[in-house]
């Protein structure tokens, strides 16, 4: 037997059959393959480019419009509006399906039965949900934007099927209405899965600075003499990105990663102690990190700063002290 070959004639060892671990890995990775397939579709990329060319400039022209910001949810609600609205059509259309399944002998004739009322209410809710989804889509990027577009295409198809179902109910074709309603809910489920992937796997519209509280000690980041006035400056402190800005001798420090999509605020502009993110135009007050304009919905963490021995030092927020169980200090 030749050393290191495992075969008497020195040939390569036979390929071992795929074990349970390989099969499990394949099952766990199927969704990544689906996302990669969707992202590679030429028609999705073409449609994405064309819509971006139209809606991108439109949003930039109207980004100060309070109605547009309200559609994001943003600082008004503390989180995006679109995910909250998306529960309504799903719930209403699911209710319509349940009523269809349990009503074994629907009354003949034209008009709306209870399931039809649920379907109609779901259509109205879906239109509002779609409007907020389009607004959020305009502040996404790259693969997230293309996957979000297909999410919207599926939801548009589901809305169309539900509209056909409602028309069939009004015309008295209850059996066809039921089939179209069930198909619509199935497509909605596929769209909802992609929406969940965007939120939980890609962190779209999720705060990028949630839980950031370091550094836990004072850290030197730049010599005071090298710190320019009225120029946003990005530094690092124990791995955390920090934005510094000095105006009239007052030093301000925020987390440098925009909470909306992790854009570097130090690459943005500052006017009136308000910094604008260069990616999607979110604005924050340098004094307290509050949101002045969306699409961001969470304030920027304020980082403590000081000047000591010719150096600017920063320190992150610290956990609140725990109180004893009996309430005494």
- At 110-119, the pLDDT tens digits run 667 889 999 9
Phi, psi of 217 (to 5 degrees): -145, 165
DSSP E strands in the chain: the ranges are 219-223, 233-237, 240-247, 250-255, 269-271, 274-276, 283-285, 291-293, 304-308, 311-315
Residue-range domain boundaries for the chain: 30-200, 219-315
**Residues of 226-260 as b/e, b for ≥16 C-beta within 10 angstroms?**
ebeeeebbebebeebbbbbbbeeeebbbbbbbbbb
- Report percent pLDDT > 90 for the chain: 62
| Chain centre to alpha carbon of residue 294 | 14
What is d(CA 266, CA 234) in angstroms, rounded to the nearest whole number? 5
With bands split at pLDDT 50, 70 and 90, how would you rate the model's confidence at 20? low
Instruction: Please report the pLDDT score of residue 313 as a whole number.
Output: 95
pTM above 0.85, yes or no: no
Segment 117-137, tens digit of pLDDT: 999 999 999 999 999 999 999
Tokens 């609140």 -> residue: 320
Q: Which residues pair with 264 in a beta bridge?
A: 257
What kind of architecture, by CATH, is found in domain 219-315? Answer: 3-layer Sandwich (2.102)
Residue with tokens 């719930």: 91
What is the token pair recorded at 316? 């992150």
Please give the distance of CA 180 from its chain centroid, rounded to a whole number. 30
pLDDT in tens, 32-67: 888 899 999 999 999 999 999 999 999 889 888 888
Q: End-to-end CA distance of the chain: give it in Å, rounded.
A: 76
């Amino acid at each position: 037997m030749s050393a290191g070959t495992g075969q008497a004639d020195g040939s390569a060892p036979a390929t071992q059959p795929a074990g349970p671990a390989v099969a499990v890995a394949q099952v766990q990775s199927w969704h990544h393959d689906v996302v990669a397939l969707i992202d590679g579709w030429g028609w999705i990329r073409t449609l994405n480019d064309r819509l971006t060319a139209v809606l991108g400039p439109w949003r930039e022209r109207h980004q100060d419009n309070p109605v547009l910001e309200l559609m994001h949810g943003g600082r008004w609600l503390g989180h995006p509006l679109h995910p909250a609205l998306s529960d309504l059509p799903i719930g209403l259309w699911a209710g319509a399906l349940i009523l269809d399944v349990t009503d074994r002998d629907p009354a003949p004739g034209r008009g709306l039965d209870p399931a039809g009322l649920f379907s109609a209410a779901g259509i109205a809710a879906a239109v509002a949900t779609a409007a907020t989804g389009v607004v959020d889509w305009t502040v996404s990027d790259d693969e997230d934007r293309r996957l979000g577009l297909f999410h919207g295409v599926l939801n548009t198809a589901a809305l169309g099927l539900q509209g056909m179902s409602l028309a069939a109910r009004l015309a008295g074709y209850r059996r066809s209405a039921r089939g179209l309603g069930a198909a619509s809910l199935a497509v909605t489920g596929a769209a909802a899965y992609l929406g969940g992937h965007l939120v939980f796997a890609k962190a779209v519209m999720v705060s990028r600075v949630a839980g950031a509280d370091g550094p836990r000690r004072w850290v030197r980041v730049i010599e005071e003499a090298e710190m320019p006035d009225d120029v946003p400056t990005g530094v690092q402190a124990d791995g955390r990105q920090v934005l510094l800005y000095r105006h009239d001798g007052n030093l301000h420090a925020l987390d440098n990663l925009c909470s909306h999509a992790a854009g570097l605020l130090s690459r943005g502009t500052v006017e009136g102690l308000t910094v604008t993110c260069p990616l999607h135009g979110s604005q924050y007050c340098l004094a307290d990190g509050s949101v002045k304009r969306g699409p961001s919905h969470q304030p920027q963490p304020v980082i403590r700063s000081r000047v000591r021995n010719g150096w600017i030092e920063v320190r992150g927020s610290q956990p609140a002290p725990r109180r004893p169980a009996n309430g005494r200090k």
